[in-house]
Structure 1
Amino acid sequence: MKRLLAAILLFATVSSAVETLRPEQLRRGMKGYGLSVFKGTEPERFDVEILGVLENAFPKQDMILIRMSGANLEQHKVIAGMSGSPIYVEDKLIGALAYGWSFENEPLAGVTPIHNMLAEIQRPAPPPVAAERPRPAAAAENLKPLLTPLALAGFSPRTVAAFAEEFEKLGLLPVAAGSGGAAPGARQPGKLVAGGAVGVELIRGDFNAVGVGTVTHVDGQRVLAFGHPFFLAGQVRAPAVEAEVHTIMSSLMRSFKMASARGPTGAMIGDWQSCIVVDTQATAPMIPVSLTVANRTTGHQERYALEVIQNRALSPLFVQVALFEAVTSATGSSDDTMVRVELEAETATRPVKVANTFHNPLGGLVNAWAWRPLTALFQSPFGDPGVRRIAVNVDSIQARHTAEIKSAFFARAEAERGTAAPLQITVRPFGQPETTLTVPVPVPAALDSLRVLQVAVLAGAQAPADVAPPDNLNDYLAALEKQHRHTDLVVLVRRPGYGLRYRGQLLKNLPPSALALLDDSSTADITSASDVQQIVVPTHWVLTGRAAARIPIRQE
């Protein structure tokens, strides 16, 4: 009861810091104004008229409909980057401009009620969850959150186009911008005011990416902005900055603010349905990332230093964006390219090192396989690995070193127990004659039931790693390092019977007595597994294709 009373008093204190009107107090035709930055850093006024209220547009959240005029909005319509612009009626704050329609003929918008936003100032922050942006009710057909301009510096149009679909899913509109000048530690502090432009830094350093919106309300060191979610990330930390608007880019499809980051203003600490919350006294740790890219064809090498947001869902994406740009700039060609990528990461539990080689027919780093270890690193099913640092080394050459597995056969008519049967594997390198690799395959001596030895030959990209399903975070990170490389030729040798999986380990070649004892135990950690031996042959080609072979075993 005491906690409830304290919460009510706290909310009353917060709410009393600004005069407000609730949706039920508004009537069609009421006039007011809004504040937003259209150039520079100073907010300007524009006029608004209340059109009505969409009740329960979101769960327990109404939507106020307004028509805007002035500040050239008749031409621009609703502008991406105006999200969060405070709207006042009778000089009382009613909410934040946050929603709009595509291809609208008039500057109409949806406003998030301020009382929904004020409730987030002291909201207890639960652990973040993966979620999609909330969608309005059917009555608000095609009403969507305004896109958030993503001010990019250091990125080429090719990179922006490559990630356009991912940006759109996140409600981001990529926009070319400057980096804001000085390094983060050398910038003068910024200031956030109602109607001012605010940015959230996702990448900073040699590359920059800042999501830009508008401040709705300042209450001490807590700031409300955007009027809709940024990523709906819940409890999250990301550096906040004051933003400077250079100009408005007018478009029939969507007008947007062209802006860039200025001085630091604390950190975003909450990303909720009705708004984002910034604490001007908070800090946000980021993940240091170093990229080294070498082009062996030209002899050119480049190093990049940057930081990315610390978030399991967003960190891998923005490392990918920076890496794509770095590699594309280094290769500078649309020809066949071989790319070797080496990823090193420092986590809270152990270091992780993964390397692989890819072939890209269009140049650059466009192979989706390259991102898998990076994404897997952050999205462990065993919780946050606590990534503290990432280093990526990329070595590229304009060439095509690929080969296709064509066939496999045993050179002998029969195999003897306890010996090695030579397996002949035919591969066809690109642009070259076929060649044969010989792999000795051990024939078990003790398995009397084994009559025929069967093997499958796979390219490393298709072969399963020889690891048990991980049982904990440490096993999971270790398994990432044991994935086959695309240059590996993998021979799978199937044996009769089975082994066991126990606490993240594969137990193979167990004697029958041990198998029976463990299999009959009541330990839930024990499960059966096929007894398959793997023989890995490193090559200098990126391999594709598969083959199979079998050989009878001589019976005594």
Structure 2
Amino acid sequence: MNLFRLLICALVLLLAPAEKSEASQFTPSVPVLGVENLRPGMKGYALTVVSGREIVRFPVEIVSVIPGKGSPKHLIMIKASGSIIAATGGIAAGMSGSPVFINGKLIGAIGYGWNFSEHTLGLVTSFSDMASIWSWPEKIVSIPPAPALDDADKKKDQEDESQADEEADNGKEDKDEDNLVVPVAAEQLSSPLFINGISTRKALETAALLGRDNFIPGGGFTDAVPVEMNATMLPGDAITVLLAWGDVTIGATGTLTAVAPDGRFIAFAHPFLGRGAVNYPVARAYIHKVVPSLESPFKVGSPLQIVGTVTQDRPQGIGGRIGYFTPSISATLDFTDAERNIKERKRFHVVPDPFIGAKLTAGVFTGLIDDLWGRKGQGTATLTLNVQGRGLISGWTRTNMFFSDSDLAAAALKETSELLDVVFLNPFAEVYPLGITVTTEFSPMPKLMYIEGVNLKGESFSSGETVEVEVLIRPYRKKQVKKSFTITIPKDASGICEILVRGGGIEPLNQSAIVQGWKTIENFRQLFTEMSALETNNELIIEFNYEKRSKDGKGRFDEDEPVSKEEQELLSELKQRRLKDGTLQIFKSEFVVEGLLRKLITVTPGNSSQSDEPETES
């Protein structure tokens, strides 16, 4: 047993199956002030990080409390001021989740603002709205939660916040309620999405997959994002929610709002992706700079250490647990540039989300290849996909070849995305922890082979006879070569029949039994058996095809067998039977096989002699 599988077994023993945690009330380690106690003109402060890891505070003033009928139910309009806000150009994307305190008590967190407007105005999602995300159950792996902060730490935090609130109140004048402003078309302060390590075009596609129009550069300081055990996190800390990490980094930066004694936290004050119960790693973040912008200022950050997991992604904000670490998808790319004879390896992790995981993983593989190959264009690739995980005792492997005259990386990884979708969304069992390895060789040369002719020794044969089929093939810009195969004519064949020579994947054999409703895939093992039966593009396939007749020869069906056994076969069963009875031959080549040719023959029952007449092309 190899090292990877030993690690998988160890993880399976250590990690209990995913289960739903019951909803429970969220009580933060700081005092709370409800929206019913807020009045215009009240002053306080907000906490955030604008450089490095240092939590700073800036003054805020209540402008109005805006009731709503959806989620969140209350939005609190504030006006921010002070030297920090002047330097950042206003409330910035990435300040999402920055806690706001009035009279030393938490009222909520900054979550919304306006583009191309006065960036000192923002909307706060109330604490009661944010805490309501914990009314939904989590889907977590049962491991012990992180230890809670001790009472001395909590008391010190509360004293510091109360003192800072009093300082922010000094020298400020109250405003009349006549100055209330009702906001129009407020937008959530989109937590800046950063993508690093893949090509720009795949980064843009990934951003679109995640519902974003754009992204900013950003990544970890090292190839791996380390784990920090027993981390102590404070309101106002900069955090990053990760979707991919390692040689590729995809995530979003925001701010931690509050932590409960049991290690649970709330943050962002708006959804990240809005996917409900999730398992996304959360890391400390380092803020490089807040970039001023007329549209909206934004933070540029990088993840430092993973400290826990986001388990709630709801309209009112995100929440999770410090000290809880979820299993992830481990991915490896082994890339060979055949033209330069250079080999490189890239490794990354992806969140275990079955509904975006396959597309995200395949997109990262494609973006890595774009950069490693240094081009987008024509060529030929050989790609091997290997999947290891729980329920796959020996793993599963598929090798295929691909050619494209315009975008080889996208063409080669399209099948990988589709196959991973099947694995991630299979109805039988979760396969986490999951390891995916893509081993591929890329060349700009067209490694193609064309089918140019089919020759038979005659055009009339007897049922049960073995026929020699000569196939003329030509590798790209090389001499034509001949290959001979034998096909056995079934004993029940008669009349006009067909010998078909084609490339793999061209008019392929399919799962007609499933399409027509005669059978279904019944278990996990059978699923992978059928995936293994799929044709590959480097196959040269020779088929004998005929219309099966009833026993009396007068129709297509027998009364005692209205649907033939052949029509009820799964693809793997069909191929196995036809290879055994000689009506199917498959030759694996080192080229992508192009072309399809048919030859019609006449089959007579019994042992009638073979015709010596010259062949004709059909």
TM-score (normalizing by structure 2): 0.71
Identify the range of structure 1 (544-553 vs 192-201) with the bigger mean alpha-carbon deviation.
544-553
1:222 matched to 2:264? The reply is yes
Structure 1 residues 109-158: Cα deviation after superposition (integer angstroms, max 9, x where no partner): 44433212213347422599xxxxxxxxxx998655433323444x15xx
Q: Does the 8 Å CA contact 1:327/1:394 hold for their aligned counterparts?
A: no
Q: Does the 8 Å CA contact 1:342/1:394 hold for their aligned counterparts?
A: yes
One-letter identity of the residue aligned with 2:264 = R
1:542 matched to 2:582? The reply is no
Q: Provide the identity percentage.
A: 21
Corresponding residue for 2:378?
336
Q: Does the 8 Å CA contact 1:81/1:257 hold for their aligned counterparts?
A: yes
Q: Does the 8 Å CA contact 1:460/1:485 hold for their aligned counterparts?
A: yes
Corresponding residue for 2:190?
147
1:213 matched to 2:225? The reply is no
CA distance in 2, matches of 1:265, 1:538: 49
Structure 1 residues 169-209: Cα deviation after superposition (integer angstroms, max 9, x where no partner): 41455322242348544768754221221112333333333
1:41 matched to 2:81? The reply is no
Q: Does the 8 Å CA contact 1:294/1:396 hold for their aligned counterparts?
A: yes
Corresponding residue for 1:371?
417
Corresponding residue for 2:348?
306
- CA distance 1:163–1:305, change in 2 (3 Å): closer
1:197 matched to 2:238? The reply is yes
Structure of larger gyration radius: 2
Q: Does the 8 Å CA contact 1:345/1:387 hold for their aligned counterparts?
A: no
Q: Give 1:248-259 correspondences, 5 Å limit.
A: 248-259=290-301
Corresponding residue for 1:296?
338
- CA distance 1:384–1:456, change in 2 (3 Å): farther
- CA distance 1:362–1:529, change in 2 (3 Å): closer
SS of 1:230's equivalent in the other structure is coil
1:478 matched to 2:529? The reply is yes
One-letter identity of the residue aligned with 2:34 = L
Corresponding residue for 1:135?
none
SS of 1:161's equivalent in the other structure is helix
Q: CA RMSD in A?
A: 4.0
CA distance in 1, matches of 2:547, 2:211: 53
1:237 matched to 2:279? The reply is yes
In structure 2, which of residues 431, 434, 437 is the aligned counterpart of residue 385 of structure 1? 431
SS of 1:193's equivalent in the other structure is coil
- CA distance 1:429–1:147, change in 2 (3 Å): farther
In structure 2, which of residues 348, 354, 357 is the aligned counterpart of residue 315 of structure 1? 357
CA distance in 2, matches of 1:282, 1:88: 28
Give the gaps of 5 or more residues in structure 2. 1-21, 142-181, 514-519, 551-556, 579-583, 607-618
CA distance in 1, matches of 2:333, 2:569: 42
SS of 2:460's equivalent in the other structure is coil
Offset, 1:49: 4.2
Q: Does the 8 Å CA contact 1:66/1:111 hold for their aligned counterparts?
A: yes
Q: Give 1:5-84 correspondences, 5 Å limit.
A: 11=25, 14=27, 17-22=30-35, 32-46=44-58, 47-58=60-71, 61-66=73-78, 68-70=80-82, 71-72=84-85, 76=89, 78-84=91-97
CA distance in 1, matches of 2:487, 2:258: 71
Identify the range of structure 1 (462-471 vs 261-270) with the bigger mean alpha-carbon deviation.
462-471
SS of 2:387's equivalent in the other structure is strand
One-letter identity of the residue aligned with 2:538 = T
CA distance in 2, matches of 1:517, 1:240: 56
Q: Give 1:338-487 correspondences, 5 Å limit.
A: 338-350=380-392, 351-362=395-406, 365-367=409-411, 368-403=414-449, 412-422=458-468, 430-431=476-477, 439-447=485-493, 450-454=494-498, 457-464=501-508, 469-487=520-538
Offset, 1:241: 1.4
User: What is the aligned length?
Assistant: 514
SS of 1:474's equivalent in the other structure is helix
- CA distance 1:65–1:463, change in 2 (3 Å): farther
1:274 matched to 2:324? The reply is no
Corresponding residue for 1:136?
none
SS of 2:215's equivalent in the other structure is strand
Q: Does the 8 Å CA contact 1:21/1:92 hold for their aligned counterparts?
A: no
In structure 1, which of residues 78, 87, 90 is the aligned counterpart of residue 100 of structure 2? 87
One-letter identity of the residue aligned with 2:304 = R
SS of 1:265's equivalent in the other structure is strand
1:114 matched to 2:157? The reply is no
Q: Which has the higher strand share?
A: 1
Identify the range of structure 1 (216-225 vs 30-39) with the bigger mean alpha-carbon deviation.
30-39
- CA distance 1:216–1:497, change in 2 (3 Å): farther
In structure 2, which of residues 198, 201, 205 is the aligned counterpart of residue 165 of structure 1? 205
CA distance in 1, matches of 2:469, 2:366: 40
CA distance in 1, matches of 2:29, 2:388: 47
Offset, 1:246: 0.4
SS of 2:34's equivalent in the other structure is coil
One-letter identity of the residue aligned with 2:235 = A
Corresponding residue for 1:503?
none
CA distance in 1, matches of 2:119, 2:254: 21
Structure 1 residues 71-96: Cα deviation after superposition (integer angstroms, max 9, x where no partner): 34697455332222223455543323
Q: Does the 8 Å CA contact 1:459/1:544 hold for their aligned counterparts?
A: yes
Offset, 1:56: 1.8
SS of 1:369's equivalent in the other structure is helix
CA distance in 2, matches of 1:34, 1:253: 22
CA distance in 1, matches of 2:450, 2:189: 49
CA distance in 2, matches of 1:120, 1:272: 6
SS of 2:410's equivalent in the other structure is coil
One-letter identity of the residue aligned with 1:209 = I
TM-score (normalizing by structure 1): 0.78
Q: Does the 8 Å CA contact 1:459/1:486 hold for their aligned counterparts?
A: yes
